[in-house]
């Protein structure tokens, strides 16, 4: 079980594009999530977005930096950035992503 939520107890069905960067020193890294037309934006009262929650069997990773991108006055995308400052945070994130990728048919391609 690996899922993403923007509001508690509402699973996001749209699978994001995820971009990863890691410093050469290995001390810091980022994961940028881009959701195009996520389901949470279809719901009334989408001001309930309180962050992004990556939930799996180990627990949850909470990401507070979530932005809505508007096109022609309508919210079309959500973007979230997760900054990891240690190898432990990176390892935990990668375990979540492996589970999430397996359940949602995601692949990895190096740039």
CATH of the domain at 19: 2.40.30.220
Task: Annotate 31-54 with DSSP letters as a single string.
Answer: EEEEEES-GGGGSTTGGG---EEE
Average predicted confidence (pLDDT) for the chain: 90
Count of C-beta atoms within a 10 Å radius of residue 68: 16
Q: Give the three-class secondary structure for 33.
A: strand
Which residues of the chain are modeled with pLDDT < 50?
none
In a domain, 39, yes or no: yes
What is the domain count for the chain?
Answer: 1
In a domain, 110, yes or no: no
The pLDDT score that the predictor gives to residue 74 is 86
The pLDDT score that the predictor gives to residue 79 is 97
In a domain, 111, yes or no: no
Helix (H) or strand (E) holding 96: helix 87-104
* Close Cβ partners of 34 (under 8 Å, ≥ 6 residues apart): 16, 17, 18, 19, 77, 78, 79
The pLDDT score that the predictor gives to residue 13 is 93
Q: For residue 44, what are the domain limits?
A: 2-104
Q: How far apart are CA 78 and CA 59, in angstroms?
A: 23
Place of tokens 């971009």: 19
In a domain, 44, yes or no: yes
């Amino acid at each position: 079980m690996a899922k993403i939520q923007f509001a508690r107890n509402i699973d996001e069905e749209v699978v994001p594009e995820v971009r990863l960067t890691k410093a050469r020193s290995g001390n810091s890294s980022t994961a940028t999530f881009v959701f195009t037309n996520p389901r949470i934006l279809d719901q009334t009262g989408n001001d309930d977005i309180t962050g992004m929650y990556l939930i799996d069997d180990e627990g949850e990773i909470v990401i507070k930096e979530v932005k809505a991108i508007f096109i022609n006055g309508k919210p079309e995308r959500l973007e979230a950035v997760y900054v990891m400052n240690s190898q432990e945070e990176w390892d935990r994130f990668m375990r979540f992503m492996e589970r999430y990728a397996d359940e949602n048919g995601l692949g990895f391609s190096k740039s």
